[in-house]
Amino acid sequence: MLATIGGSQINAGGLSATYRIAVDVGGTFTDCCIVSTEGVMTIAKAPSTPSDPSIGVLNSLDEASRQLSGSLLDLLSQTETIVHGCTIVTNAIVQRAGARTGLIATKGHEEAIIIGRQNQKLDGLSDIEKTHVTRHHKVDPPIVTRELICGISERMDVEGEIIVPLNEAEVEDAIEDLVTRKEVQAIAVSLLWSFVNPAHEVRVKELIKARYPDIEVSLSSEVMPVLGEHERTLSTVFNAYTKSLTRSYVTTLAAKLRQAGYKHSLLFMGAHGGLLDEDEAKEKSIFWLNAGPIGGTIASRELGDRYTKENIICSDVGGTTFDVSLVIGRELQRETEPVVHQYRFYLPSVSISSIGAGGGSIIWVDEAGIMRVGPRSAGADPGPVCYGRGGTSPTITDADLLLGFINPESFLGGRMNLDLKLAEASLQNMGRQLNMSAEEVATGAVRIVEAQMADLIRQRTIEYGLDPREFALVVYGGSGPVHGCNYSSELGITELYVPEAASVFSAFGLLMGDMLYTFEASNPLRSPLTDRDMEIINATFKQLEDKALHTFANIGVKEDQVIIIRTLRMKYKLQYHLVEVSISQKEYSSADADMIEEALRQRYISLYGPGTVVEGAEFEIISFRVDAVHKPFHVSVRRQEATSGAAAPEPIGSRSVLFTREGRVLSQIYAGDRLHSGHVIMGPAIIERMGDTVVIPPGFVAKVDPYKSIIIRAENK
């Protein structure tokens, strides 16, 4: 299917097509990206509404339906799929805005997440930061303080045998203490060995629910049934902390959309890089953690394919955060123990780093009288001063406006006017504290925030020994194209890619996401593999595949539309680390035992080199995994051949722009919708597009490619 932006591409039939919609709720804006079965793309934005994000979602859809010259009812009733991505869970944890959460743990082991395996102080630090021991500290404040942790007498052992029966009187006391005295709204339950025998956890839940049915309960044996009480407990605590948020949000959103005419179920982007259905999304709020920006990573990978770039730095400047992820050799980078705010927990996920730096980042003055930017954001409400919604703290967007990067009249395609006077007054005000002019404050703040952005990319690349100059840099998010040239040049990167729909790129990527369900079962087998073992292998995979296919069937996806990937997680005897061995065959017989051993051997040698297998070593299969993948549809963008006409487009005007390095320069202004493939624009110039502004400082040259992406190169650098 082909997709192009803009109402002009719509068929005469208006809303006769069927649609697929992606909505991405950011800290400042809610982005919407719609692709029709004919391949026409429509984009829309509305301010996010943090107190009830569904309002912003509906507003953005409403805006989109207007662009399609139809009603919201027409649009939604003709929509097959709505895919949703958001940062609400991440924000709740970072801002400590989740439910007041208590923890019930096995007595004597209450402090596992306080002790933090002794190296919590290092989690999330770069190697260089690890060397600075006097700067280390533990999480402060902890997400669950000591007073909210209750120990209860009960104990399972390694085999799931009950060593100490559940002391229900202690459980009742703990519940009473947490709920009545300490007023918790949610309880996480994480008992030792519960992933082997969940009986005690299940009973604790019954006891809580019997007395307080409204308290949200998360059990470690359900949320993340894996070995390791520290990581499992944190996953469970995060889930408990945010479950009421996701539950009420999914319920509200689904009801509103259905009321508005949508007939199908919603899909949600998960941290693992796949899409989840409504029920899964409600229960496992932890899967929402860090899932917000993944759409952009997926879209960047697809963009890279056009230019045969396999290694990509994906940089997303939103209103609230700056997110960086990498694509290496076309692969999304994954991790199983991500770190959020120094907490290392268990969650198979796509690896993305974030800092609080974006268009909405607040400029402030610290106790020492030094100008600082972020990490606090003005968010959507009140938003930057120039939005005129009562914000008084100047933000990066206000600075961008004053410097002339953004046109107050063409923001969001002219649908929102920005108030330059208000922005200037607030910057002037701040300047008085700093003994600087408004322009000096704006220039300084932009330089500070761009340095922070360059530092995060440096942390993800240079500090891991990766040379950023060997990567294609993709720049997106509402404010990305304003600052991209400057943060890239700090890293010695001389070429950057600004996609056409940069301001809704993460939403666009949601439409390229695969639905992915992963099912895992632990069923240890030891070599030599017998006939009986082969039966177990077949039966285990069959069971997992049935589960996966059933899940897809529930949302109307047929068996022949699902790709099943089977993986054995194996190791040699005595080892701990599991090696993942992909197995293509569907049925195994005893004759295949050697084949499995050989597959492990080959995988091992490819990982660790020849001569590293201990000859004759026994091996073990520890667990079985099935990844079931369904590609709902594929979006590609129509190629536009270079026009034979002028190499440069006609500017629509010019204005004086204050660049942070070169000072004030008269710059040509171009309209994004008049650009064609082959156009070349020399900096200093500004391209005003629907949803964003591309700033091309002096010394940079932009070229429009056949996909209307803008490729910017630094000249003589």
Partner 1 sequence: MDKLDQVTFEVLKNRVMAVNNEQAIVAARMSGSSVCYDAYDFNTAITTAEGRGLYIGLYNTGIGHPITMAIQSIISSFGTDVHDGDAFLTNDPWYGPVHQQDMTIAAPVFWYDEIVCWGAISIHEPDVGGPVPGSFSVGAKDCFGEAPLIPPLKIVEEGQERRDAIYHCLRNSRTPELLALDIKARLGGLNHLKRRIRELIEKYGKDTFLTFQEQLLEYVSTVVKERLRSLPDGVWSASTYHDHDGTDNILYPVHLVLTKQGEKLTFDFRGSSPQAPGIINCTLMGLHAGISAALFTLLCYELPWSSGGLNDIYEVIVDEGSIVNATFPAGVSGGFPAVIWNVTDLTNYCLGQMLACSARLRDEASSVWAPGYNGTFLSGLDRDQKPFVDVVLDGTACGDGALVHKDGIDSGGSFIVLQVRLSNVELQELNFPKLVLWRRESGETAGPGKFRGGCGLEEAFMPHKAPIPLTDVVCSFGHALPLALGMLGGYPGSVQANVIARNTNIKDILSHGVLPTRLEGITASEVKTLPAKHITELGFNDIHIAVYSGGGGYGDPLERDPRLVRKDLANGLCTTKYAADVYGVIFSDTENFVVDTEATFQRRQEIRDDRLRNATHVGTTADNNSTEQQIGNIQTLTDCLAIGNVAGGKVICCPSCQHIYGPHTSDPRLGAAFRERALIDLSEVNKYATSEDICLREFFCPGCGLLIAVDVVRTNDEVTGSMWLRG
In the complex, what is the shortest distance from the CB of residue 128 to partner 1, in angstroms, rounded to a whole number?
Answer: 5
What residues between 451 and 490 interact with partner 1 by CB under 8 A? Answer: 462-467
Q: Please pick, from the candidates 18, 95, 127, 365, the single residue that binds partner 1 as defined by CB under 8 A.
A: 127
Q: List % helix, strand, coil for the chain (3-state, nearest 5).
A: 35, 25, 35
Amino acid at 348: P
Binding of residue 130 to partner 1 (CB under 8 A): yes
In angstroms, rounded to a whole number, what is the distance separating the alpha carbons of residues 695 and 704? Answer: 14
What residues between 488 and 517 interact with partner 1 by CB under 8 A? Answer: 492
For partner 1, the closer CB: 154 or 424: 154
In the complex, what is the shortest distance from the CB of residue 141 to partner 1, in angstroms, rounded to a whole number?
Answer: 11
Binding of residue 623 to partner 1 (CB under 8 A): no
What residues between 527 and 546 interact with partner 1 by CB under 8 A? Answer: none
The single residue listed with the structure tokens 């959309």 is: 257
For partner 1, the closer CB: 163 or 642: 163
Binding of residue 114 to partner 1 (CB under 8 A): yes
Considering only the stretches 104-112, 313-321, 408-416, 628-636, report the one whose residues sit in contact with partner 1 under the rule CB under 8 A: 104-112
Q: Give Cβ neighbours of residue 75 (< 8 Å, ≥ 6 apart).
A: 15, 19, 34, 61, 64, 65, 68, 261
Considering only the stretches 24-32, 164-172, 260-268, 653-661, report the one whose residues sit in contact with partner 1 under the rule CB under 8 A: 164-172
Considering only the stretches 126-134, 248-256, 543-551, 580-588, report the one whose residues sit in contact with partner 1 under the rule CB under 8 A: 126-134
- Bond preceding residue 198 cis, omega within 30 of 0: no
Binding of residue 164 to partner 1 (CB under 8 A): yes
In the complex, what is the shortest distance from the CB of residue 307 to partner 1, in angstroms, rounded to a whole number?
Answer: 22
Of 167, 172, 166, 174, the closest CA to residue 150 belongs to 174
In the complex, what is the shortest distance from the CB of residue 92 to partner 1, in angstroms, rounded to a whole number?
Answer: 25
In the complex, what is the shortest distance from the CB of residue 299 to partner 1, in angstroms, rounded to a whole number?
Answer: 28
Considering only the stretches 74-82, 301-309, 394-402, 602-610, report the one whose residues sit in contact with partner 1 under the rule CB under 8 A: 602-610
Binding of residue 106 to partner 1 (CB under 8 A): yes
Considering only the stretches 87-95, 96-104, 610-618, 652-660, report the one whose residues sit in contact with partner 1 under the rule CB under 8 A: 610-618
Considering only the stretches 17-25, 178-186, 530-538, 568-576, report the one whose residues sit in contact with partner 1 under the rule CB under 8 A: 568-576
Q: Give Cβ neighbours of residue 653 (< 8 Å, ≥ 6 apart).
A: 668, 669
Q: Please pick, from the candidates 558, 573, 661, 674, the single residue that binds partner 1 as defined by CB under 8 A.
A: 573
In the complex, what is the shortest distance from the CB of residue 7 to partner 1, in angstroms, rounded to a whole number?
Answer: 46
Binding of residue 155 to partner 1 (CB under 8 A): yes
DSSP string, 283-346: H-GGGGTTTTTHHHHHHHHHHHHHTT---EEEEEE-SS-EEEEEEETTEEPEESS-EETTEE--
Q: Is there a contact between 32 and 22 (Cβ–Cβ < 8 Å)?
A: yes
Binding of residue 716 to partner 1 (CB under 8 A): no
Binding of residue 368 to partner 1 (CB under 8 A): no
In the complex, what is the shortest distance from the CB of residue 451 to partner 1, in angstroms, rounded to a whole number?
Answer: 15
3-class secondary-structure state, position 641: coil
What residues between 271 and 310 interact with partner 1 by CB under 8 A? Answer: none
Q: What are phi and psi of 155, to 5 degrees?
A: -160, 130
Considering only the stretches 80-88, 261-269, 612-620, 676-684, report the one whose residues sit in contact with partner 1 under the rule CB under 8 A: 612-620
Binding of residue 228 to partner 1 (CB under 8 A): yes
The single residue listed with the structure tokens 């410097």 is: 403
Of 438, 356, 355, 352, the closest CA to residue 394 belongs to 438
User: By CB under 8 A, how many residues form the interface with partner 1?
Assistant: 69
Binding of residue 108 to partner 1 (CB under 8 A): yes
- The arrangement of strands across the sheet holding 79-86 comes to 579-583, 563-572, 619-630, 515-526, 275-276, 266-269, 79-86, 19-25, 29-36, 40-47, 2-5, 636-637
In the complex, what is the shortest distance from the CB of residue 364 to partner 1, in angstroms, rounded to a whole number?
Answer: 23
HEC assignment per residue over 352-412: CEEECCCCCEEEEECCCCCEEEEEEECCCCCCCHHHCCCCCCCEHHHHHHHHCCCCCCCHH
In the complex, what is the shortest distance from the CB of residue 12 to partner 1, in angstroms, rounded to a whole number?
Answer: 55
Kindly write out the interface string for residues 229-248 of this chain, putting x where it contacts partner 1 by CB under 8 A and - elsewhere.
xxx-----------------
Q: Is there a contact between 403 and 658 (Cβ–Cβ < 8 Å)?
A: yes
Considering only the stretches 136-144, 278-286, 361-369, 374-382, report the one whose residues sit in contact with partner 1 under the rule CB under 8 A: 136-144
Chain-centroid distance, C-alpha 360: 19
In the complex, what is the shortest distance from the CB of residue 346 to partner 1, in angstroms, rounded to a whole number?
Answer: 11
For partner 1, the closer CB: 70 or 151: 151
In the complex, what is the shortest distance from the CB of residue 133 to partner 1, in angstroms, rounded to a whole number?
Answer: 6
For partner 1, the closer CB: 107 or 264: 107
In angstroms, rounded to a whole number, what is the distance separating the alpha carbons of residues 481 and 657? Answer: 15
Binding of residue 181 to partner 1 (CB under 8 A): no
For partner 1, the closer CB: 165 or 645: 165
Binding of residue 158 to partner 1 (CB under 8 A): yes
Instruction: State the DSSP H helix or E strand holding residue 590, giving kind and residue range, or none if neither.
Output: none
Binding of residue 141 to partner 1 (CB under 8 A): no
Q: Is there a contact between 357 and 369 (Cβ–Cβ < 8 Å)?
A: no
Q: For residue 716, give both structure tokens.
A: 């003589």
Q: Is there a contact between 572 and 622 (Cβ–Cβ < 8 Å)?
A: no
DSSP string, 489-516: HHTT--EEEE-TTGGGHHHHHHTTPPEE
Tally of CA atoms within 13 A in the half-sphere of 541 that contains its CB: 20
For partner 1, the closer CB: 105 or 245: 105
DSSP 708: S
Q: Please pick, from the candidates 66, 138, 264, 447, the single residue that binds partner 1 as defined by CB under 8 A.
A: 138
In the complex, what is the shortest distance from the CB of residue 117 to partner 1, in angstroms, rounded to a whole number?
Answer: 5
With b for 16 or more beta-carbon neighbours within 10 A and e for fewer, the 502-531 pattern comes to: bbbbbbbbbbbbebbbbbeeeeebebebee
In DSSP terms, which residues pair with 371 in a beta bridge?
365
Binding of residue 131 to partner 1 (CB under 8 A): yes
Considering only the stretches 257-265, 558-566, 611-619, 671-679, report the one whose residues sit in contact with partner 1 under the rule CB under 8 A: 611-619
3-class secondary-structure state, position 123: coil
For partner 1, the closer CB: 51 or 134: 134
What does the binding site for partner 1 look like in residue numbers (CB under 8 A)?
Answer: 106-112, 114-119, 121-122, 127-138, 146-147, 151, 153-155, 157-158, 163-167, 192-193, 227-231, 462-467, 492, 572-577, 607-614, 617
